[in-house]
Amino acid sequence: LAKTTQPISMDSYEGQEVNITCSHNNIATNDYITWYQQFPSQGPRFIIQGYKTKVTNEVASLFIPADRKSSTLSLPRVSLSDTAVYYCLVGDFHTGGFKTIFGAGTRLFVKA
Amino acid sequence: DAMVIQNPRYQVTQFGKPVTLSCSQTLNHNVMYWYQQKSSQAPKLLFHYYDKDFNNEADTPDNFQSRRPNTSFCFLDIRSPGLGDAAMYLCATSRGRTSGYNEQFFGPGTRLTVL
């Protein structure tokens, strides 16, 4: 089962680009990488999902190197409202069952 | 708006007194999940339903049970709550389980207090 490692916390300032890296050394061939955002007292919210190379949507980009042992969530021009916990998940539904576990998460603090 | 609804938002129960948390969805999704999230920890998957097929996580205590009477509703039953069961309980849904279909939509959660 792929385990993920993320920085516990990060600080940034408004308007900066933030990159949060997740390590997943034993990612399986069928595993996808998914990121969620969670604000206090709310459920997590899906940000982005990818398998390899680069994925971009309206809120973020996800960079995945060829070996897929890590991934980087990139948030362009963060604002105060991006202060939240960001979770990296690695897994998928395999024949043997559902294998997706939330990592410990990275607490991002965006300062004015 | 299509959404995932959890009731109640806050639930207080007594040690050992059975409690039921409810979740409903208007997304018509096939999969419904229940997570437990303790303070400053990541959500931990308890079990999920794919349609009517129940899938329990190996380390989920027997004290936790679930029911899904129809597509829209799913319930979490805690038969004998202990102090360690105090947590936020999150319900989520997804269209499917495999990538491309497994984006999870979470409800606001129910915060359970055990006295």
User: Rounded to whole angstroms, what are the CA distances from B62 to B10, B24, B58, B73?
Assistant: 23, 23, 10, 21
Cα-Cα-Cα-Cα torsion A108, B100, B37, A71, nearest 10 degrees, comes to -40
How many CB pairs below 8 A link A and B?
58
Domain A9-111 has CATH 3.10.20.600: no
User: In this predicted structure, what is the pLDDT of residue A2?
Assistant: 63
Give the single-character DSSP code of B62: T
Q: Tell me, what's the pLDDT at A97?
A: 55
pLDDT score of A1:
57
Q: Which residue has the higher pLDDT, A4 or B73?
A: B73
* Backbone torsions φ then ψ of B54, nearest 5 degrees: -90, 135
**Which of B42, B88, B100 is facing A103, going by the closest CB pair?**
B42
Query: Looking at CA atoms only, how far is residue B37 from chain A in angstroms?
Result: 10
Greater confidence (A75 vs A97) lies with A75
**CB spacing of B108 vs A43 below 8 angstroms:** yes
- Asked if B97 and A98 come within 8 Å (Cβ–Cβ), the reply is yes
Yes or no, beta carbons of A104 and B42 under 8 Å apart: yes
CB proximity A50 to B under 8 Å? no
The pLDDT score that the predictor gives to residue A94 is 60
Domain ranges of chain A: 9-111
Q: What is the pLDDT of residue A26?
A: 87
**Per-residue confidence (pLDDT) for residue B76, from 0 to 100:** 97
Q: Are strands A106-111 and A97-102 parallel, antiparallel or unpaired?
A: unpaired
**Which of B48, B104, B107 shows the shortest C-beta gap to A46?**
B104
Interface of B with A (CB under 8 A): 4, 41-45, 48, 55, 88, 90-92, 97-100, 102-109, 111
A102 touches chain B (CB under 8 A): yes
pLDDT at A99 over 80: no
Distance CA A6, CA A8 (A): 6
Enumerate the residues of chain B whose CB falls inside 8 A of the CB of residue A51: 99
Place domain B4-108 in its CATH homologous superfamily. Immunoglobulins (2.60.40.10)
Task: Taking residues A91-109, report their average pLDDT.
Answer: 75
Q: What CA–CA distance (Å, rounded) separates A107 from B3?
A: 26
Q: How many CB atoms lie within 10 A of CB B16?
A: 10
The residue behind tokens 């609804």 is B5
Nearest Cα of chain B lies from the Cα of A7 at a distance, in angstroms, of 14
Q: What is the pLDDT of residues A23-82, one digit of tens each?
A: 999 888 888 899 999 999 899 999 999 999 999 999 999 999 999 999 999 999 999 999
Query: Which residues on chain B are in Cβ contact (under 8 Å) with A103?
Result: 42
Residue spans per domain, chain B: 4-108
- Per-residue pLDDT tens digits of chain B, which is 115 residues long: 669 999 999 999 999 999 999 999 999 999 999 999 999 899 999 999 999 999 998 899 999 999 999 999 999 999 999 999 999 999 999 998 887 788 899 999 999 999 9
| Residue found by looking up tokens 């995945």 in the block | A64
Predicted pLDDT of residue B69: 96
